[in-house]
Chain A
């Protein structure tokens, strides 16, 4: 199973459970429902990673690091620092976690994903610079590490820049 996509290709699509490691001028996009995109960005070196997190906790289940909030944060920080990122300059952005079917049960997973990511980021002492979480609509995001701009599209609305 593919753990991470890497490179400077024009735009990488980050699927469920995947992580993209970005070096400018490469960018990444993802389409999100209840999953949450975690962007970690070193504002000084412009190195970045984007994860498409599916579930809040691995609980010893198999899967790529990007699938779970706990494994994603640790893996992304480790890889970014191996590439020369400085943790002091890394900031996080969180997008997604919708509840599109407005019901209980597994459809509430989006909020749990976001809460788990906030906790693991806090434990790792990474500042959350921006969030766009929850609601009842899906999102399409594009992240450009050279500018740090995270564009969020919601169907029928104008593009939001975080």
Chain B
């Protein structure tokens, strides 16, 4: 899905908040990879548990996943999901290496993916912090894992589900040199951060 989906009165304000953050992350990732990488806000809306089930990636095997936790009281998770081929391509590009058919990951490749998570997370969170009047939102050191995508997303949305019956679902896609890439980034704020975001939207609407 490449367009921004809307399903409620709050959909456009949500997009107004997350589109600048996505652009900021897009610029940072392009600089980091020295390629024309265009991140697009594919979807941002509040979902019920039933709706969330329909949105989870239906991949047969594990994905390569980079998670970036937001440190501090206003916590949350950013999740970068790649298929294995795309993750290897990215790591090889960053390390200026030729493609190698292998199932194992070298430490340097993992480090390149972690740094990608850091670049993405920092740019995205800086923009969100600026838009919501926060001093800063700090990304924690990223973690790389080979996991079932639905398992990781399920765990991340617990940040909201323990206190709410809906989940804010913010997903970005990626174009590399104009071609769609099998990649998605998800932003899952905690209930406390979500409340701050709601207040920022309310303030925007009042101005």
A101/B69 contact (C-beta < 8 A), A63-B49, A138-B147, A155-B62 known: yes
B69-A54 in contact (CB<8A): no
A67/B49 contact (C-beta < 8 A), A55-B162, A106-B159 known: yes
Binds A, one of B10-18, B117-125, B150-158, B174-182: B150-158
B152-A138 in contact (CB<8A): yes
Least CB separation from B57: chain A residue: A31
A55-B155 in contact (CB<8A): no
A16-B67 in contact (CB<8A): no
A31/B49 contact (C-beta < 8 A), A100-B155, A101-B67 known: no
- How big is chain B's contact interface, by range? 20 to 34
Across chains A and B, the number of contacting residue pairs, with CB separation under 8 Å, is: 87
B53-A15 in contact (CB<8A): yes
Cα distance A32–B162 in the bound complex, in angstroms: 16
How would you classify the secondary structure of chain A's contact residues: helix, strand, loop or mixed?
loop
A155-B146 in contact (CB<8A): yes
B130 CB to closest chain A CB (Å) equals 26
Which of A55, A99, A100, A101 touches B161 (beta carbons < 8 Å)? A55
A16/B49 contact (C-beta < 8 A), A31-B154, A32-B154, A107-B155 known: yes
B148-A31 in contact (CB<8A): yes
A156-B62 in contact (CB<8A): yes
B152-A17 in contact (CB<8A): no
- How big is chain A's contact interface, by range? 20 to 34
B50-A17 in contact (CB<8A): yes
B147-A137 in contact (CB<8A): yes
Residues of A within 8 A of B162 (CB): 55, 106, 109
A140 at the interface (CB under 8 A from B): yes
B69-A103 in contact (CB<8A): yes
A34-B154 in contact (CB<8A): yes
A12 at the interface (CB under 8 A from B): no
A101/B154 contact (C-beta < 8 A), A15-B53, A155-B62, A155-B147 known: no
A33 at the interface (CB under 8 A from B): yes
Cα distance A155–B56 in the bound complex, in angstroms: 17
Least CB separation from A155: chain B residue: B62
A98 at the interface (CB under 8 A from B): yes
Cα distance A43–B140 in the bound complex, in angstroms: 48
Least CB separation from B158: chain A residue: A106
Cα distance A17–B148 in the bound complex, in angstroms: 18
A34-B154, A138-B147 known, 7 other contacts, Cβ within 8 Å: A17-B49, A17-B50, A31-B150, A98-B151, A98-B155, A109-B162, A139-B148
Could you jot down 25 A-B contacts, CB within 8 Å? A1-B48, A15-B54, A16-B49, A16-B52, A16-B154, A31-B151, A33-B150, A33-B153, A34-B155, A34-B158, A67-B49, A99-B155, A100-B145, A101-B67, A101-B155, A107-B158, A138-B150, A138-B151, A138-B152, A139-B151, A140-B151, A155-B146, A155-B148, A156-B62, A156-B146
Please give the residue numbers on chain A whose beta carbons come within 8 Å of chain B beta carbons, in ascending order: 1-2, 15-18, 31-35, 54-55, 61-64, 67, 98-101, 103, 105-107, 109, 137-140, 155-156
Please give the residue numbers on chain B whose beta carbons come within 8 Å of chain A beta carbons, in ascending order: 48-50, 52-54, 56, 61-62, 67, 69, 75, 77, 143, 145-148, 150-156, 158-159, 161-162, 165
6 A-B pairs with least C-beta separation: A138-B151, A15-B53, A33-B155, A33-B154, A33-B151, A155-B62
